[in-house]
Chain A
Amino acid sequence: MAALYIILTASVIAISCGLLGSFLILRKMALVGDAISHAVLPGIVLAFLISGSRDNIPMLIGAAVLGVITTLIIEMLQKKAGMQEDASIGITFTWLFALGVILITSYTGQVDLDQECVLYGEIAYVPLDTFNLSNGLSLGPRALWISGSVLLLIIAFILKGYKGLVLTTFNKDYAASIGISTAFWQLAFMSLVSLTTVVSFESVGAILVVALLVAPPAAAYLLSQNLKKMLWLSTLFGILTAVGGYYLALVLDGSIAGAMATFAGVLFAGAWGWSKLTSKHSGTIPVTDKKNISTFF
């Protein structure tokens, strides 16, 4: 039963991350997502300190607001102080993360979080913290309920806002030219990303949530010609990651979250190889000449 709960919770989180991550990488904001996942830490610690528990929903939302503020700070540093994008992301999240760690160590007694948990979560403990009715009947892990609700929210948002989300992702200027507020869509989307990272935090930690946000969508992106397929594939890869990661961790007797990230990387490698193999035959025309892109220092 515990195994099932862990896999179920991990899958739900992975699907949420995969769906949002698909748009995140298409918006070229993968690293902003990375920054958010770190920057919510002080918010989570404060939420803890104020509410005394980690599952208080208003407090989770409060922590998520900090993630949204992070995106605004990053944007402001670029616009007002003329800072380049990479540096503005880099200094913002490290500063907030450092603040979070300092808060944790200052209030060790009051906060049931430790540094390891921050980095890679404690999904193995998820089944222990259950949601109980007043007559003592257990309804399953609390984390599953919370991340399940967030997943439903995300699905509803994508179904209802599909056109706006796609249009502002693909061609921002055009969207603005027909009178659509790109700022609104950006804000709504980043709020969901932020909420998801907060909710996933205790299960998979700050860095491995990035693996779930990026790896399954990246693999799906390489294999898809259209966005709907990409979203479905991200979902599928998310579930595979959860299942594969769990058993990999079992075999190696290591961290489940770490194993999930590793497994997601393996899936990506497979997808990359597969796309290389198949593109040789279909003769696609490469549009972007990437020969000159270099990411070396």
Chain B
Amino acid sequence: MDIRPDCPAIEVHNLTASYNRKPVLWDVDFALPQGKLVGIVGPNGSGKTTLLRNMMGLMKPDSGYVNLFGKSLDEVREKVSYVPQRETVDWDFPASVMDVVEMGRYRKGNLFKRLSKQDKILCTEALEKVGLLDLAKRQISQLSGGQQQRVFLARSLAQQADLYLMDEPFVGVDAATEESILALLTQMKSEGKTVVIVHHDLQTAYEYFDWIVLLNTRLVASGEKEKVFTPQLLQEAYGGRLTVLSRIGDLMAKQDFPLREKEFKEAKGTGDGKTY
């Protein structure tokens, strides 16, 4: 199942990514529509974070590439906002809620300048939207998990992007907060933004998203949720790894095998076009 939207926000082409030569994403290839709430769903360790990191250029894929709005990341960087997993930062960092949200206004171009008044207004608005304005001065270590997640969300809102990539924004969040975050995401969608969310909980995925990508080291399905949520596809995504695949991955790591032969590595697209 791989349904192709007309005017994609993200196209992932033949992406293979590995850590220490052991592939964790195999030839993943799909496209996501604009203006939708998209869920990237799969069990733990299925490569969801790795996929997002590759989309944001945070690691170098072994093969394949990602286009955002039909362009390379560098051309559209200011339109894309990335929300890392909450655990990836040290929340004991001596900073206030507002300090973190203001990072959303940092750009390559203004790194050595002060933030403008307009920037500060955007940050205040973002904090208001996530309902944390009263905690703006609070140190981030004194927040609950859900509040921290909302700080990240506010920073992302302050970026004023068109495309949002969020890694597990519902983890460690209480039910009420989960609902309010979802309301916010829905509102963003209605403003025409594209929101891509990494999610591992099958129970809620169907309810939350319009479009679902099922991932388990390989792409299992990508399409409207009604078409993707079939028992067979879910079983395939959650029913364990393909043993042949993981055995080959182990072999590659052990023998220092290249994931792509040189001639295929450089070529953008689907190799040399010959088929045998």
Contacts and interface: CB of A to CB of B under 8 A. Distances in A.
* Direct A–B touching, Cβ under 8 Å: yes
Interface of A: 26, 28, 82, 160-161, 163-164, 166-167, 169-171, 173-174, 176-180, 221, 224-227, 229-230, 284-285, 287-288
A285 B142 contact: yes
B84 A171 contact: yes
A176 to B, nearest CB: 6
Nearest to B141: A287
B106 A178 contact: yes
B94 A225 contact: yes
B144 A285 contact: yes
B56 interface: yes
A171 B139 CA distance: 16
B272 interface: no
Interface of B: 20, 53, 56-58, 74, 77, 80, 82, 84, 88-96, 99-100, 103, 106-108, 111-112, 139, 141-145, 148, 159
B20 A226 contact: no
A287 B89 contact: no
A5 B68 CA distance: 60
Nearest to B56: A177
Contacts of B89: 170-171
Given A174-B103, A226-B96, A230-B94, A180 B111 contact: yes
Nearest to A164: B111
Nearest to A221: B94
Q: Chain A interface mostly helix, strand, loop or mixed?
A: helix
B88 A173 contact: yes
Contact of A26 (B57, B93, B106): B93
A179 B112 contact: no
Given A173-B58, A177-B80, A284-B142, 6 more contacts: A166-B103, A173-B84, A176-B58, A178-B107, A226-B96, A288-B90
B106 A173 contact: no
B94 A179 contact: no
A284 B91 CA distance: 13
B253 to A, nearest CB: 11
B99 A226 contact: yes
B111 A285 contact: no
B91 A287 contact: yes
B209 to A, nearest CB: 22
Contacts of A28: 90
Closest 3 CB pairs of A and B: A177-B82, A225-B139, A177-B56
Contact of B84 (A174, A230, A288): A174
B91 A288 contact: yes
B103 A167 contact: yes
Contacts of B92: 287-288
Given A163-B111, A178-B107, A230-B94, A285 B143 contact: yes
Given A82-B20, A288-B92, A179 B108 contact: yes
A173 B82 contact: yes
Contact of B93 (A82, A160, A161, A170): A170
A167 B106 contact: yes
